[in-house]
Amino acid sequence: MILYSLNDATAVDHPQHGRFAAGPDGAFDLPEEVAEELHRIHDRGRKLWETTLERATRLAREEAERRQDPAAQLSVLERLEEALRGVTAAQPKRRTRKAKADAAEAPDAGDEAPEDDDAEDSAGDEDAE
């Protein structure tokens, strides 16, 4: 039987069956006898172990409650918006097809010589040398 610890246990030492370690997901694969014994344990009325079905039910209930909470929804949206801002700021600006087409149709600004009054003055300085 699979049990999950509700108090973050990472191992179980049983006097008759030995030591059991939690799996990567926190699940304990225990013999039926040990699992039933642990499942009955409570601390001040609070369960310390849950079955796979109880865990799935609890997680679904918590998720439903979290989704109904407007403050939680707003928090998720704000984090998403912040993450998107970071992603878009890190990406180089991409030109759209329309912008590329407009740029291709427009005359090249680089073909014309820039109007620079200093260019004529500097040409005259070369002759003076």
Q: Note the pLDDT tens digit of each residue in 47-80.
A: 999 999 999 999 999 999 888 888 888 888 899 9
pLDDT-wise least confident of 11-15, 64-68, 94-98: 94-98
**Beta bridge partners of residue 43, listed in sequence order:** 46
What is the pLDDT at residue 129? 47
Burial 96-111 (b: 16+ CB within 10 A, else e): eeeeeeeeeeeeeeee
> Residue 112's pLDDT is what?
53
- 5 has which bridge partners? 49
For residues 12 and 20, the answer to whether their CB atoms sit within 8 Å is yes
Residue range 36-40: average pLDDT? 95
Q: Is the per-residue pLDDT at 21 higher than 50?
A: yes
> What residue type is 126 in one-letter code?
E
Is 50 exceeded by the pLDDT of residue 33?
yes
The SS3 call for residue 51 is strand
Integer-rounded Cα Rg, in Å, for the chain is 35
> How would you class 49 by CB atoms within 10 Å of its CB: exposed for 0-12, middle for 13-18, buried for 19 or more?
buried
Whole-prediction pTM: 0.53
What is the arithmetic mean of pLDDT over 88-106? 72
